[in-house]
Each structure stands twice: as structure tokens, then as C-alpha cells.
Amino acid sequence: MYTERASRLTGAIVWTNTPEGAGGGPVLPDGCMDLLWSGGRLLVAGPDTGPYVPKGPPRFWAGVRFFPGTAPALLGVPAHEVRDLRVELADLWPAARVRRLRDRVAAAPDPATALEDIALQQAERTAAPDPLLHRLVERLDEGRPVSATAAELGISTRTLHRRCLGAFGYGPKTLARILRLQRALALARSGTPYAETAVRVGYADQPHLTREVRELAGMPLGELLGGG
């Protein structure tokens, strides 16, 4: 069972997941990075460009999902270096510190809240997120073209691409596709017909939506939403 709530860290989500049955469903690209706890390990989930299927038997997961573009500064790693990866936090932070944090989470009655506390303490040590990145996510999530977004932000498309690699792990066009996919899934899950969903989120037509879902989620839309 999956649960989530808004974090005390601005823009972040605190979540837990105990899959039912073998493997559970895929984790889909969402433009975010996560701090994870599972099986006594502290991990970082880099930005995904396709579906991620956890390996091994089902087990409990807890995580903090950071607002898009904010995790690299907090965690101290450019997003493109951990793209499509799950890495040990000890590979990014001093091992002794991670051991202390791991022991703290293991002893906590609620691992998700313990992870949130770690994220909040790290945010206190880190400069505030670049507001340009937040504006960028807002513009692209509204469906604005990349070139127009760069112009609105007062930077060149080349500079925008470079900033995106460090903050999101990929360029602005990929980020826009992933944000559009998430908008489409939210509409489709609410019961909006697929053809209407495609038009409302900016796809050319339903076949375009179908192709994008297959490419980014790895399966047909109906199967992804549990419709067979």
C-alpha cells in the first residue's frame, strides 16, 4: 500500500510503500529525486527517464520526494550523475555521517518522518533553491515551449539546457515531456477519456499520447492504469 503526505520541507512529499504481491508496479518518471530508506539502507533515487522496477522481493520503502530541481543542491550531486540510478547515500556523503543517520532511522518509530527530519536538517545547511528552477518547472508544466520559456527567464536555450542537466538530470525538452506525462496520468486516473486527456495536456492526438506513455512508462496506458 502506498501513502503520501506533504512534507514540512517546502514542495517535498513524504511517502511510504509496502508493495502487495511480487515486485509491485513500476516507478514512473516524475522530474524528481528521492531520499530513500529500505532494508536498513539509505539510498538516493536519481531522476528517471523511463520506468524503474524495484528488484528482489517486495519490501517496505519510505522516502522523501524533493520538488523537481531542488535535490542536487541538498544532496550534493549533479542530477545527471545519478540519472536512472539508485545509489547509496554513503557514496555521496561521509560514511561515518551516513552510519549515524542510518542508525537513527532504524531506531525511529516512523522511518518516513526520520527521513524528513534529515532532509530538513540538510536544507538548513544549504542555500535556498534557485527560484529560476521553480519558475522553469511552472512554465513547462503549463505547457510553454522551451524556447519561449528560456526567453521569459532571460537566458539562452543553451544555458537553460546546461542548468537543466545539473538540476533535473536531462534537458528541458525531456523535463517537459515527463511533466506532461504526469499531467496526462492524473487526468486519465480521474476518469477523463483518453482522447480528451490528450487534447487537454497538449498532445497532438490520442495516438501521440499512446506513444509517449509507451516510451516513458514502458506499457500501454490502459495496462498502466489497471484497465488491462
Q: Mean pLDDT, to the nearest integer, of 53-74?
A: 93
How many angstroms separate the CA atoms of 50 and 17, rounded? Answer: 20
The three-class DSSP label of residue 41 is strand
pLDDT in tens, 107-157: 999 999 999 999 999 999 999 889 999 999 999 999 999 999 999 999 999
How many angstroms separate the CA atoms of 172 and 169, rounded? Answer: 10
The three-class DSSP label of residue 227 is coil
CA angle 83–211–192, rounded 5-degree value: 105
Domains and CATH numbers, the chain: 2-125 (no CATH), 131-224 (1.10.10.60)
Whether 137 contacts 47, CB under 8 Å: no
Q: Mean pLDDT, to the nearest integer, of 187-200?
A: 96
pLDDT in tens, 69-86: 999 999 999 999 999 999
The pLDDT value recorded for residue 228 is 47
DSSP per position, 74-123: HHTS-GGGGTT-EEEGGGTS-HHHHHHHHHHHHHSS-HHHHHHHHHHHHH
Q: Mean pLDDT, to the nearest integer, of 19-28?
A: 74
Per cent of the chain over pLDDT 70 is 97
CA angle 134–36–175, rounded 5-degree value: 35
How many angstroms separate the CA atoms of 166 and 164, rounded? Answer: 5
Mean pLDDT across the chain: 94
